[in-house]
Structure 1
Amino acid sequence: MSKAQQSTIAATAAATGRRISQVVFIGLLLDILSFTIILPLLPRSLEAYKAREGSDPTTLLGSLLQYISLQRERLQHGNGSASRFLQQGARADLVLLGGLLGSLYSLLQCVVAPFIGRAADRFGRRRTLMLCMTGNILWTVIWIFSGSFETFLVARIIAGLSEGNVQLSNTIIADVTDTTTRSHGMALVGIAFAVGFTIGPSVGAYFARLPLESSGISTGNVFAYAPFATAALFSLALLLAESLYLYIRLPETLHFRRNQIPLSDSENNDHSKPKSASHSLLKQQGSTRVHVQRVLRRLNLLHFAYLFFFSGMEYTLTFLTHDLFHFTNAQQGKLLGFIGISSTLLQGGWVRRIKGKSAHRDKSLVARGMVSCALGLLCIARCCVEGTVDSSPSWWLWAGALGFAVASATVVNCLNSMVSLVHAGDSSDEDTGRRLGDFRSAGQIGRTLGPVFACSVYWLLGPSVCYTIGAIAVAIISTAFVSLVPASTHPLDTAKKTI
């Protein structure tokens, strides 16, 4: 095959990859909008369930609230300087219950992510994604008719086990991009996240203003309408539209590189090399596999450690603004909107425009994002020292929010790109689903445990100590990342040149 023919085929594959990436972006945006609608509705939904069954200790909700209340009282008695948040009594109990539901969701994601990744490698990305969409539709239907807390809990469990869209979107983009465009494609996932988390909660807040009676709970049976069933119906409509769109527009990408780009003459002639050269290459491939596994383990561990502290600090941010500055819902929305919009602009206007080799570029962006996160946490800790109850937030709070935005725009997306580029070089990328699944699972463990740790430190030692610990920890993680993770993950490519 001539070089001109190879260039034409490569250009066609790149154009097809860009089209598929756009399809993935639109589908993921619809999915995140559907997912985030429930976020501002969760506290009031729990209040509605509590009004119906919270006082009955024989129900699951009643027993859970009773247990949480008992633990909160013990914590207050053991710590005379407990935060004002804990002193809110029953209201704090509902917030703690909401936090437990969030941790349960992340824990289920941690369990299921490796299985979704391996299923995508075995049965195909498209088929696995459509199966996840079926689960998403099922949990939303159950949400609509969750007239009791037990039914709502079942719906959330199904949701945690079915949400593989983000992971599979990363895998599909890894299939259709090469080493020079990988991180640009992964940034689309981050942009979809930022836009979805900016718009979705606002849509949910609109439904939160509707009176409970218009979408409230019937006291007749378990499958009565849920609180804010109209929001659930809108979420279901988004999921149905997404499923139809993906079914029509998304092709299978498992063998995309093999089908779109035939082997070059040099690759086809590999089998004609002398036996001594082939034997040497096999030995180098074996050592490379060991190196690759070591790099993947380090990336997974650093992902867990980073999200452990980042998600914990992020989770307590709304507690801080409520506890210290008495932010209203509108003010909370402005702060979170500032983070989301800033992250979107950074990803679209900065991250995707940075040139350079993907691996080196990704490592640089991850390091910058982690440093920005550490500096942002220090700013928030400074804000806590300066601020007093009922005072106005200083610019330190907004500087800290900007640090969060930079971290959101860079770290996780670029880490996903690095993981997708780590392979032994002697095989195709058809195990990308497994690698990204294990990577996501490690991160979800951090998202499960991080809020518990951060809230404990926040309530026991105060917000200033909490964010200072977070800043120091993220700085240490950043140093470990720069020291332990190589920018190039293809040592075999160098070895081949010597044969």
Structure 2
Amino acid sequence: MNKALVVVLLSVTLDAIGIGLIFPILPSLLRELTDSVEISALYGAILAGYALMLFLFAPMLGMLSDRFGRRPILMIAMGGAAIDYLIMTFAPTVVILIVGRLIAGMTAASMAVATAYITDITEEKDRAKRFGYLGACFGVGFIIGPVLGGLLGEIWLRAPFLAAAIFNMINFAMAWFLLPESRPGKKSKFNFGEINPFSSLKWAISFINIRTLLIVYVGFSFVGSIYGTIWVLFTEDRYGWGAAMVGVSLALYGLFSVISQAALTGPITSWLGEKRAILFGLSFEMLALVLLAYFGQWWVLFALLPFFALGDVGGPALQSLLTSKISEDDQGKLQGVLMSLASIASIIGPLFFTQIYSLLRTDWPGGIWMIAVIIYVLMLPMILFGDKIRPGTFSMGNKK
């Protein structure tokens, strides 16, 4: 494993820890700043605003990294995030905190640039494996971050913001001293119209060889939002679990997912190929969802966690397949579009699944998992038959 890859993966891990640090204490901080107990609407609006910033800025940062190089865009985002978290540490009003969270959403869009960096330094045959590493590092960060944030929040409510600022300063220093440029910027004239996120989306769907795969990617992201949205509600309703058992189940879920993405994605994709690896992961996840829907014993959920983790193999394989169909000069733009689409799915998904769950929870709470299965079944023809166009490198001048 080369030095540049290690630096990027470590940076992603620290970035994910920094993001996760804030989750446990944000509601309490909002109550303190607003002097109000009821902050659910404001909290939801902040989460939605954060996702909206990802949608708008991921294509922009991805495109800028194609134009000016990955390293400077990453460093600007890391430095900006460090300053932003410092401001939020001492934010005297809720307005400043809200603005800070919106800026945090902008800088978090640099994940698209990190993914493009990995694409640059990785041969096509190894991309699924390294995207698996990337997902595993993000998973590790989201396991450590909330735990650390909760502990720090007990010491000082704003301490997690300060810790997040420090992590971003470390990332900036690593990029400055250790990270080489993976792809020099273009020397062509810069067109400000290119930073429009909607033009990037229009650019992506103009390629007939990836339209269906983009729909599948959105579908994966949409269904993926069900776990963070419904898991707590479902385990409370079906098993009567409290916070401790819910936390244990989520931690084990995350641990199995990290192991699967880090250790299994590469070998399975090499063995089956990208499309069959997608189907492999989807098969295990669908099986787990069906069994969880129909079997009410608590131990079944724990027994199914490895099956859910095997389902995580499909995402990196799909992302690798998409990169094979776009020019090397446009990988930043592609990753920005993918992150933008995922952010929209993360806004719509929770709204959809919570409404459906409210209708099912009394008579059959497990039915929500069958809704996810139905969506996956609808995507199967697109996975099986929507990828008939020969892979190759395409640019705006060649869309056939």
- Give the TM-score band, short-chain normalised: 0.7 to 0.9
CA deviation string 1:82-112 (max 9, x = no partner):
xxxxxxxxxxx63x65444323222221111
Match of 1:352 among 266, 272, 277: 266
1:317 aligns with 2:231: yes
Q: Structure 2: 5+ residue runs without aligned partners?
A: 186-202, 395-400
Following superposition of structure 1 onto structure 2, how do residues 73-88 of structure 1 map, counting pairs within 5 Å? none
* Displacement after TM superposition at 1:402 (Å): 3.6
Corresponding letter in the other structure for 2:159: T
Match of 1:48 among 26, 29, 32: 32
1:373 aligns with 2:285: yes
**Would you say the 8 A contact 1:169–1:189 is kept in 2?**
no
Q: Structure 1: 5+ residue runs without aligned partners?
A: 1-14, 56-64, 66-92, 216-227, 257-288, 387-392, 493-499
**Would you say the 8 A contact 2:325–2:393 is kept in 1?**
no
**1:382 corresponds to which residue?**
294
Whole-Å separation in 2 of the counterparts to 1:435 and 1:354: 24
The share of aligned pairs that are identical, in percent, is 24
Assess, with a 3 A threshold, how the Cα gap between structure 1 residues 185 and 486 changes in structure 2: closer, same or farther: farther
**Would you say the 8 A contact 1:117–1:433 is kept in 2?**
yes
CA deviation string 1:100-159 (max 9, x = no partner):
432322222111111111101101101111111123113211220123322221111111
Aligned structure 1 segments of 4 or more residues deviating by more than 4 angstroms: 289-292
**Would you say the 8 A contact 2:69–2:181 is kept in 1?**
yes
1:179 aligns with 2:124: yes
Assess, with a 3 A threshold, how the Cα gap between structure 1 residues 149 and 173 changes in structure 2: closer, same or farther: same
Counterpart secondary structure, 2:241 = coil
Whole-Å separation in 1 of the counterparts to 2:7 and 2:124: 20
**2:300 corresponds to which residue?**
396
Whole-Å separation in 1 of the counterparts to 2:366 and 2:85: 39
Number of equivalenced pairs: 374
**2:146 corresponds to which residue?**
201
Counterpart secondary structure, 1:416 = helix
**1:117 corresponds to which residue?**
62
Whole-Å separation in 1 of the counterparts to 2:269 and 2:75: 35
**Would you say the 8 A contact 1:371–1:478 is kept in 2?**
no
Match of 1:448 among 344, 347, 350: 347
Whole-Å separation in 2 of the counterparts to 1:399 and 1:292: 43
TM-score (structure 2 length as normaliser): 0.85
* Displacement after TM superposition at 1:470 (Å): 1.6
Counterpart secondary structure, 1:333 = helix
Match of 2:13 among 22, 29, 32: 29
**Would you say the 8 A contact 1:255–1:430 is kept in 2?**
no
Match of 2:249 among 324, 330, 335: 335
Whole-Å separation in 2 of the counterparts to 1:197 and 1:436: 21
Whole-Å separation in 1 of the counterparts to 2:51 and 2:318: 19
* Displacement after TM superposition at 1:174 (Å): 0.6
Match of 2:98 among 153, 156, 166: 153
Match of 1:405 among 309, 315, 321: 309
Assess, with a 3 A threshold, how the Cα gap between structure 1 residues 313 and 348 changes in structure 2: closer, same or farther: closer
CA deviation string 1:224-247 (max 9, x = no partner):
xxxx11121111111111110111
Whole-Å separation in 1 of the counterparts to 2:212 and 2:269: 26
**2:76 corresponds to which residue?**
131
**1:496 corresponds to which residue?**
none
Assess, with a 3 A threshold, how the Cα gap between structure 1 residues 146 and 291 changes in structure 2: closer, same or farther: closer
CA deviation string 1:320-348 (max 9, x = no partner):
22344343332222111111110121123
Moved more, 459-468 or 106-115: 459-468
Corresponding letter in the other structure for 1:30: L
Bigger relative contact order (CA 8 A; separation at least 6): 2
**1:434 corresponds to which residue?**
333
**1:75 corresponds to which residue?**
none
Following superposition of structure 1 onto structure 2, how do residues 220-235 of structure 1 map, counting pairs within 5 Å? 228-235=157-164
**1:305 corresponds to which residue?**
219
* Displacement after TM superposition at 1:371 (Å): 2.5
Assess, with a 3 A threshold, how the Cα gap between structure 1 residues 20 and 484 changes in structure 2: closer, same or farther: same
